Amino acid sequence: MPGPHVSRVRALYRRILLLHRVLPPDLKALGDQYVKDEFKRHKNVGSDEAQRFLQEWEVYAAVLCQQANESRQNSTKKACFGTALSEEKLNDFRDEQIGQLKELMQEATKPNRQFSITEPTKPEF
């Protein structure tokens, strides 16, 4: 995404990675990798595609920020992150994007995720 968008892109990228800190460790790892891949993949797209890309990721960041705030306020409830995609939005996706979405869903919902992150345990004496 060359041009005047560079500072906006970098700020959004940093904001998303900071927001991912509220996610459970395995989802954070998955989300961080996905964001890095997507931003790298869209590095040299045209102006129109760059604009749409940024808008969609800004919406994602806003939703995640809202969900993180709700999670902090309702500490007794289990945190819930994400939103359902409308049929209209799904119909706008290209075949390649549907494939990526399917892979992401499979990775996020499989019991033994690729990103096996465990909390450190305290040694017992």
In this predicted structure, what is the pLDDT of residue 12? Answer: 96
Structure tokens at 98: 């549907």
DSSP assignments along 27-58, one per residue: HHHHHHHHHHHHHHHTTT--HHHHHHHHHHHH
Question: For 38-56, what is each residue's pLDDT tens digit?
Answer: 999 988 888 888 899 999 9
CA 89 to chain centre: 17
In this predicted structure, what is the pLDDT of residue 40? Answer: 94
Q: Please name the amino acid found at residue 12.
A: L
Residue 62 host element (H or E) = helix 47-73
CA 24 to chain centre: 12
Q: How confident is the model at residue 78 (pLDDT cuts 50, 70, 90)?
A: confident
| C-alpha to C-alpha distance for 106 and 111, rounded to whole angstroms | 10
Question: For 79-114, what is each residue's pLDDT tens digit?
Answer: 778 788 888 888 888 888 888 888 888 887 777 555
Q: Per-domain residue ranges for the chain?
A: 6-109
